A and B are shown apart, each in its own frame.
Chain A
């Protein structure tokens, strides 16, 4: 009708085109990998027929599967350490420190470049002449996951209604009862979110594991790296397709937990 609305409609169309291009850019590479995982030939170009052979190969005993095993052990162990220590850290910082310094220190490891932490831990094991292996990878991963769990929890604690604790005290509850019955239930979603975040990051962490592991306990990303360095490897396509579907499911699930935390609005 008017010049204004014409401009607005044009802006809307341009916006939709821009978003469409963004998602093409983000998703086409993944779709190509998934499509190629069903190709019976090795070629990326020619479709040589549908097959699930690469899936069978990918999930047969071999470097990929041993890598997956190491990765899962590392992720579970490091997340377990991080949830316990990260929760303690967040509560301690929230309750017993004042000012932003302690808070910054607690979340700092999440911001240190992972290559720096990786070589640091490698150097330390070198200095004390301890062998590196799966244990050093677990410790390395836990060191940044603690900060992630603590950061998520501190964000939640900061937005928590302090008067609830005061109400609990006013009703005669002890400090322990207030913590167990009032504080902890409110923290639970944040603990789950922090654990999920740490676990996922551990699964995907490459640099730290690269520096802190030995040849006989290589994580999945490292195994994939050494395979694809020498060119296209179809069983990696198959594994990638499975991993994409799994992470898609995980993200959709986590969305219910993490997104409300990130974009929380005051009720």
Chain B
């Protein structure tokens, strides 16, 4: 069981100045694949990254990489690669020199350094730019160099600090598939640390959501999106409308919606306060007779076009409900509209 885990974290605590940045973190990361550590700023994800890389001290706990205790290993001997958010390319060295740096630190022979650098440059497709300085590269090229510089050392684990955040939208998509390709080709374990849920969801196989120095929820992106365990998770990941309610015998009584036949959290009794997490795609405009799910009436407030779809805002009672529509809806402002809810998919969590 433990043998398949590349990185094992047990009871990890860290203090950053006065703040208790990591509170009792337990985490297992399996070898291979992409793992994401996701959290808003101040959640402790950066501290966790710096503790794993060896730049910050843990005050308590255990950190094992492939069965080796890491906490007593200095940062320069950890076999944990790190791609910095700023890339941290050495401005006074060429692309090739940057990539060779870590190999030279290992005191490898010149020929070995040369061939491995050449291999890495080829892998990222920048052969023609090997002698350029970082300042002469574009953002995307710099990121590829930073990646190659870490990967060329063949670390057991590669940490990526907000790998897509500095890129504009166009480049993000390309880099996303590039990261996945590199991960596949090298078979290395990538751990992405990010505040951007889109980045985490699109890249990772598994995501750990951090909040206030604790792991709030751990699972696949789909699990986190479809079955959030808490209001925090529901709000942080994806768009949703959260409606307060109370469990009744036929389901859940939601303010303004009436009683809906929703699944209630396990072990909850009647009369408990709950929250319904309604995703935009779980509701539809226009009442259809005899359709599945429940129907309510609301007031049309407006819509915004998303390209290929649109989000309408419908006021139901006190709730401003976001509704995903296949095309731009054409209603007058203030018109009364029917709303259909996919009650089978809507998640209800304890308040």
Interface set of A (CB-CB < 8 Å, partner B): 1-5, 7-8
B49 contacts partner chain A, Cβ-Cβ < 8 Å: no
B52 contacts partner chain A, Cβ-Cβ < 8 Å: no
Q: Which residues in window 137-159 of B have CB below 8 A to A? A: none
What is the CB-to-nearest-CB distance from B14 to chain A, in angstroms, rounded to a whole number? 12
Supplied contacts A2-B71, A4-B72, A4-B74, 9 more A-B pairs, CB within 8 Å: A1-B57, A1-B71, A2-B72, A3-B73, A3-B74, A4-B54, A4-B73, A5-B57, A7-B74
Residues of A close to B233: CB separation below 8 A = none
Interface majority SS (helix, strand, loop, mixed), chain A:
helix
B64 contacts partner chain A, Cβ-Cβ < 8 Å: no
17 A-B residue pairings within 8 Å (CB atoms): A1-B57, A1-B71, A2-B57, A2-B71, A2-B72, A3-B72, A3-B73, A3-B74, A4-B54, A4-B57, A4-B72, A4-B73, A4-B74, A4-B75, A5-B57, A7-B74, A8-B57
Residues of B close to A7: CB separation below 8 A = 74
* B55 (CB) vs chain A CBs: closest residue: A4
Residues of B close to A4: CB separation below 8 A = 54, 57, 72-75
- Complex: how many Å from CA A3 to CA B72? 6
- Complex: how many Å from CA A7 to CA B74? 9
- Complex: how many Å from CA A2 to CA B51? 13
A-B residue pairs, 5 tightest by C-beta:
A2-B72, A4-B74, A5-B57, A3-B72, A2-B71
Q: Chain B interface residue count: which class?
A: under 10
* B74 (CB) vs chain A CBs: closest residue: A4
Residues of B close to A2: CB separation below 8 A = 57, 71-72
* B57 (CB) vs chain A CBs: closest residue: A5
What is the CB-to-nearest-CB distance from B177 to chain A, in angstroms, rounded to a whole number? 35
Residues of B close to A8: CB separation below 8 A = 57
- Complex: how many Å from CA A2 to CA B74? 9
* B54 (CB) vs chain A CBs: closest residue: A4
* A2 (CB) vs chain B CBs: closest residue: B72
Residues of A close to B73: CB separation below 8 A = 3-4
Q: Name which of A3, A4, A7 has the most chain B CB atoms within 10 A of its CB.
A: A4
Residues of B close to A5: CB separation below 8 A = 57
What is the CB-to-nearest-CB distance from B72 to chain A, in angstroms, rounded to a whole number? 4
What is the CB-to-nearest-CB distance from B306 to chain A, in angstroms, rounded to a whole number? 33
Residues of A close to B54: CB separation below 8 A = 4
Residues of B close to A1: CB separation below 8 A = 57, 71
Residues of A close to B71: CB separation below 8 A = 1-2
What is the CB-to-nearest-CB distance from B78 to chain A, in angstroms, rounded to a whole number? 10
* A8 (CB) vs chain B CBs: closest residue: B57
Q: Which residues in window 49-87 of B have CB below 8 A to A? A: 54, 57, 71-75
What is the CB-to-nearest-CB distance from B275 to chain A, in angstroms, rounded to a whole number? 39
Residues of A close to B75: CB separation below 8 A = 4
- Complex: how many Å from CA A5 to CA B73? 10
Q: Which residues in window 271-285 of B have CB below 8 A to A? A: none
What is the CB-to-nearest-CB distance from A3 to chain B, in angstroms, rounded to a whole number? 5
- Complex: how many Å from CA A7 to CA B72? 11
Residues of A close to B74: CB separation below 8 A = 3-4, 7
- Complex: how many Å from CA A1 to CA B63? 14
What is the CB-to-nearest-CB distance from B150 to chain A, in angstroms, rounded to a whole number? 21
* B75 (CB) vs chain A CBs: closest residue: A4
What is the CB-to-nearest-CB distance from A147 to chain B, in angstroms, rounded to a whole number? 31
- Complex: how many Å from CA A4 to CA B77? 11
* A3 (CB) vs chain B CBs: closest residue: B72
- Complex: how many Å from CA A3 to CA B57? 11
* A7 (CB) vs chain B CBs: closest residue: B74
- Complex: how many Å from CA A1 to CA B15? 14
- Complex: how many Å from CA A5 to CA B71? 10
What is the CB-to-nearest-CB distance from A105 to chain B, in angstroms, rounded to a whole number? 28
What is the CB-to-nearest-CB distance from B149 to chain A, in angstroms, rounded to a whole number? 23
Residues of A close to B57: CB separation below 8 A = 1-2, 4-5, 8
- Complex: how many Å from CA A88 to CA B54? 54
Interface membership of chain B positions 10-54, coded 1 if the CB is closer than 8 angstroms to chain A and 0 otherwise: 000000000000000000000000000000000000000000001
- Complex: how many Å from CA A74 to CA B54? 59
